Amino acid sequence: MTATISAIEESWVPTQQDFDDFARLSGDDNPIHVDPAFSASTRFGRTVSHGMLLYSRVYGLLRKHWPGTSHDMQSLMFPNPSYAGEELVFRLNPAADNPNRIRVEVTRKADGLVTLSGECLISGDMQ
């Protein structure tokens, strides 16, 4: 059974501790994520979030707002970095032609640049 679901918008401010914790859990300890001294010498100038840390937050929002569904797939792009200490805005918007296709966008609040763009498919009870 499908219900009409409106767009979801929530904010989150990631911390360096979030980056470090995700590195420990995922095994992705690339210094661009966890080493501020190294990252300061890169084009980013500071540590950047793991892309999948951002998507794990998206997945959490999917589970929160559509708890009776299954996650079937995702297609993602990360066109700009997300930094520790900078507020991000997460937007999940069911497609008008298929409410099981959720459009996803994460932007930096300060400048509006997109840091995650894509979509995912869910199935099951969307009530």
- Alpha-carbon gap, residue 118 to 44, rounded angstroms: 23
Q: What is the dihedral of CA 97, 101, 63, 117, to 10 degrees?
A: -120
Angle at the Cα of 41 (from 77 to 29), degrees rounded to 5?
Answer: 55
- pLDDT value for 2: 45
Domains located in the chain, CATH noted? 8-14+50-124 (3.10.129.10)
- pLDDT value for 1: 37
- pLDDT value for 4: 54
Mean pLDDT by 10 residues, the chain (127 residues): 71 98 96 96 96 96 91 96 97 93 97 97 80
- pLDDT value for 126: 66
Task: Could you list the beta-strand ranges (E) of the chain.
Answer: 8-12, 69-77, 88-95, 98-108, 114-124
